[in-house]
Structure 1
Amino acid sequence: MDFEERIERGVDAEKWKGAKEKDELPLWVADMDFACSDAITAALHARADERIYGYTSGMDDAYKTIVRAYYERHFGWHFPLEDLFFSQGIVQAISILVQLLSRPGEGIVIQTPVYHPFRRQIEANHRTCVTNPLVRHADGSYTMDLDDLRKKLSDPSVAGMILCSPHNPVGRVWTQEELKQVSAIAQEQHKWIISDEIHCDIVKAGHTHHMLESMAEEAARDRIITCVAPTKTFNIAGLECSHIIIHDATIRQRWKEFVIDQLCISAPNCFAISAARAAYADSDEWRAAMNRKIDENEALARAFLAEELPQAVLSPREGTYLLWLDLSAYESDPKRLEQRMRQNARVHFNEGVMFGAEGACFERINIACPSSILMEALRRMAAELRKQA
């Protein structure tokens, strides 16, 4: 497991496309510049060596059992196999669930600043985004405004909420108490929660991710739809394989009728099945090493920023491989900040404003890369920001 190896990405890699021609370092798209585990690579080679890539048994009980065993092993989370469904991606699943769980015009709560496709898919389905902004503290940390959440969910025109856990981009790993309160509020207001937990495996040492459903009262669990995937953790997003856990019988039936029967979306492709099996069953050691590497990269970045850009505010990272960095002390115009980063410093981050107005003059920085790339990008950024305006 050499996480310092600099790997040449494919010509159609979204993250790196055009970067070399611009001499630009891309730390934006949320995939890793790390090689997958040996188990995944071997599984894909074995599948390729079959030389026939026909129909597979897909989401059979044997496959589902491997998926469930993984979440039992790491999170103590058990669910019936019949409650596990396939989606190519979690954003796709959220879009579908928004259609199944709400009517056009109804509101859906999101906790900004938050992963921007939440808003995009809500609005694309002709629903209304209702914001429950996170509370930012002086040290850059964030907490939920639970009183405001209760107020928003009490509105009869609001159908439910989307929870990001761990939170992208602010890096919070919600505590047991926070999750219990969120589920209790939704239950008392008779609202559902779509819980996006794709980053659940990527957690800093000393922190523990808790599945929302596991923290909820038994009566509340039918209103929680959990979205997980091997893609973010094991760097196989291009294979498109996510899993949706639905307990409520009515919602399960709607999913079957719409997604499986009408849209004919029911199982991963043969390569995704091979990779997911190897990820869930044989890649725990790689997962642990990856988390250690992310923690090391964060420590390097934090030390560098404290020395070179002392007025920047780096939010405490508890989970994900993303840093949330406030650069407003060095540049107060978000459009100019983007221009300075892309054109002058030749680094490509995600501009914070895309996650909500609260993210203006922030950068979301993907640190899942060799430290040599990360540090060069940070040096370029610092050199540009230290210039006089």
Structure 2
Amino acid sequence: MKNYNFDELVDRTNTNSIKYDAREQFFGTGDLLPLWVADMDFKTPDFIIRALKQRLEHEVLGYTFRGDSYADAIVSWLDQRHGWKIEKEWISFSPGVVAGLTLAIDTYSKPGDEVIVQPPVYFPFFDSVKGTGRQMVENPLKLVDGRYTFDLEDLKSKITPKTKMLLLCNPQNPGGMVWTKAELEALATICLENEVLIVSDEIHSDLVFNGHRHIPLPTLSEEIANNCVVCMAGSKTFNIAGLTTSFVVIPNKKLFVRYERTLKVPHLHMGNIFGSLALETAYREGGAWVDQMMDYLQENYRFLESFLKEHLPQVVPMKPEATYLIWLDFSAFNLSDEKLNDKLIQAGVGLNRGVQFGKQGSGYMRINIGCPKATLEQALIRMKEAFA
């Protein structure tokens, strides 16, 4: 079996990388280590690059469709990695998970309807709800023993006849929780009882650490499967976000038909040659790469946790159960969010501000550890010196 090198430093500047080449725009300086945007600094796997190069040997890039082999790869991956047996007829397309969420909101609700979000949460959720003219209802997560969990009593109190949908982040971003079966069943039961559709963002499902297991929402029961739409992608797992390809799994035939209608009206269903090929190749050949990459991320987190405990104990990381995005609590410094962000920028480190994920993120920052250990170490040393 091939051993992959995740220590390799890759120069991503001058590639129109948002993470690197938009530093000046977002931080006011290009001279900082960017550990913010949720893509990794590891090379996209060689087997994916090889497949793309081979396709370029055929010098016609005309209209294409996603054939049976594409769907078969998704079916096989979800079965092997998550024990989720799906039918090919359940698979639809989206240019990205956020696009899928937004299309679902457009499909299954109307302007003025209420959509529930659970902050602190991936901030594009807010834009998808507000941008489509829906009313956003917050059901904040509860912090219990250093881990977020659902506030079910608050959820029940927030649901009204106008509430049509709940956006679920599973696994959770930025906290890194892998929701347990009991947590998901309790949430899904409330939604079933109140006829609230769940749209589940499961883009981080492959990035689960040892001791935890991702549970796709539809696997809980047939009744729950018929009341949810699941958005997934290989973009985070294999570092192929720039190929704008994700998929939507909808077990309920009526919901599937409605989503497809929304997708096809603006001709968003076509996708692109290279995104489709990259996803299929990743799911066919990527198991060993993902396993090694997750081992590397696990070591990166152990290093971060140990470093902070020794050199910067005021900063408390939320122990991740999944993802390469770590939620850091800086509240012990008693700084305003603006001053905290400025201090880190002055130190030469670019992180995501916690308040981007909702007001519940005040005092927090999100750091991306999907990078070579040397990069992470350099960033942590800068942070230590800034707060010394």
CA distance in 2 between counterparts of 1:207 and 1:219 reads 25
TM-score w.r.t. structure 2 length? 0.95
Q: Of 102, 114, 121, which residue of structure 2 is paired with 1:114?
A: 121
After TM superposition, the score normalised by the length of structure 1 is 0.95
Q: State how far apart, in whole Å, the 1-side matches of 2:138 and 2:261 are.
A: 31
Answer yes or no: is the 8 Å Cα contact 1:22–1:346 preserved in 2.
no
Distance 2:167 2:296 in 1: 30
Partner letter of residue 16 of structure 1? Answer: Y
The answer as to 2:84 corresponding to 1:77 is yes
1:18-167 correspondence to structure 2 within 5 Å: 19=23, 22-56=30-64, 58-137=65-144, 139-153=145-159, 155-167=160-172
Runs (5+) with no aligned partner, structure 2: none
Identity of aligned residues (%): 37
Structure 1: give runs of 5+ residues left out of the alignment: none
Distance 2:322 2:288 in 1: 18
1:381 to 369, 383, 386: 383
1:9 partner letter: R
The aligned amino acid for 1:236 is I
CA contact (8 A) 2:326 2:366 kept: yes
| C-alpha separation in 1, matches of 2:256 and 2:13 | 38
Alpha-carbon distance between aligned partners in 1 of 2:13 and 2:33, rounded to the nearest angstrom: 15
1:213 is matched by which residue type in structure 2? P
**RMSD of aligned alpha carbons:** 1.4
Q: CA deviation at 1:255?
A: 1.9
Give yes or no for contact 1:349–1:365 (8 Å, CA) kept in 2. yes
C-alpha distance in structure 2 between counterparts of 1:51 and 1:205, whole Å? 44
Distance in 1 (alpha carbons) for counterparts of 2:272 and 2:371: 28
Does structure 1 residue 179 correspond to structure 2 residue 184?
yes
Structural mapping, 1:218-297, within 5 Å: 218-260=222-264, 262-297=265-300
Report the Cα offset of residue 111 of structure 1: 0.9
2:283 corresponds to which letter in structure 1? Y
CA distance in 1, matches of 2:235, 2:22: 24
Query: Contact between 2:69 and 2:280, CA under 8 Å: does it hold in 1?
Result: no
Separation (CA, whole Å) in 2 of partners of 1:351 and 1:255: 34
Q: Hey, what does 1:345 align to over in structure 2? A: 347
Q: Pick closer, same or farther for the CA change 1:55–1:10 going to 2, 3 Å.
A: farther
Q: Deviations 1:108-143 (Å, cap 9, x if unpaired)? A: 111110000001110001111111111113x53211
Query: Is 1:13 matched up with 2:21?
Result: no
1:187, distance to aligned residue in structure 2 (A)? 0.8
1:311 equivalent in structure 2: 314
* Partner deviation per Cα, 1:256-285 (whole Å, 9 max, x = no partner): 22211x111223311112211110000110
Report if aligned partners of 2:217, 2:224 keep a CA contact under 8 Å in 1. no
Describe the superposition over 1:151-176 as per-residue Cα deviations: whole angstroms up to 9, x where unpaired. Answer: 223x1121110000000001100111
Cα shift at 1:379: 1.1
Instruction: Give the match's secondary structure for 1:298.
Output: helix
The CA distance in 1 between the partners of 2:66 and 2:182, in whole Å, is: 34
Residue by residue over 1:33-86, the C-alpha shift from the partner in whole angstroms, topping out at 9 and shown as x without a partner, is: 001222111111111222222222x22222111111110111111222111001
2:36 aligns to what SS in structure 1? coil
Task: String of CA shifts for 1:319-339, please: whole Å, max 9, x gaps.
Answer: 010110010112420011111
Measure, in 2, the Cα distance between the counterparts of 1:332 and 1:131.
25
